[in-house]
Amino acid sequence: MNILAIGAHPDDLEISCGGTLAKYRQNGYNVYMACITDGRYGRQYSPQEMTAIRKREAEAAANVIGAELVWVGYSDLGLKEELALRNKITDIIRKVKPQLIITHYPDSLNPDHKVVSKMVCDSLIPCITQTIESKFTACEKMPILYFMSTVCGTGFFPEEYVDISDTLETKLEMLSKHKSQLDVYTKYESRDLLKFVEAKAFTLGFSCGTKYAEGFRKLHTWGQNIGNRILP
């Protein structure tokens, strides 16, 4: 089974669903981590320097679990709901042909998160439409879509949980590869990002009766109804 996680920025996936992606790899599934923007405004160095740094960090994080990084390279804080972006995401989905997609929750403060969430949802019909021209053949079935938690979990009420007690350390190892952003959190927010992410996983775990967990919400619409649980 192919799993495709689509995040707006480098480190988004590690923060909100890294433990689940690690669990999928642990179970032998193929995992693809798509990053739509290049993270150039990461607040440490010039945009050009940040782009190179953050791509290296994203590659290192994906390598921790043996996932394939899909680097798209749009400028962050500049994404728009437009056909070109939808077509790009559609092509990624058609190429990977995932059974499951994980992406941002629509109700998010970050504008890039909102745009990516909307464009991923809007790509579900095009990815299965045979008559749309593309470099890649259409998917035979529409992928099932789940939304990962917002960064702080504010306003996000999980419908399903994944027990990541056995993959939390791997999640934190993935996140630790984003050193530039660990430094940003320390410098500008006086916060240890690794401890913050662990605390969030602990809180979610308490909610569902495990030590550590990640929470998700499912897209409820036509073509998304399945009888069996698809999350690990």
* Dist. CA 232–CA 227, nearest whole Å: 15
* Residue reference for tokens 């630790």: 176
Question: For position 191, what pLDDT does the model report?
Answer: 85
pLDDT tens digits along 114-146: 999 999 999 999 999 999 988 999 999 999 999
Beta carbons within 8 Å of 162's beta carbon, 6+ residues apart: 19, 20, 23, 213, 214, 215, 216, 231, 232
CB burial readout 126-162, b (16+ within 10 A) else e: bbbeeeeebeeebbeebbbbbbbbbbebeebebeebb
Question: For position 153, what pLDDT does the model report?
Answer: 87
> Please, are residues 72 and 54 in contact by the beta-carbon 8 Å criterion?
no
pLDDT tens digits along 166-180: 999 999 999 999 999
Domain boundaries, the chain: 2-218
Average pLDDT of span 75-89? 95
Question: For position 186, what pLDDT does the model report?
Answer: 87
* Dist. CA 9–CA 73, nearest whole Å: 10
- Looking at domain 2-218, its CATH superfamily turns out to be LmbE-like (3.40.50.10320)
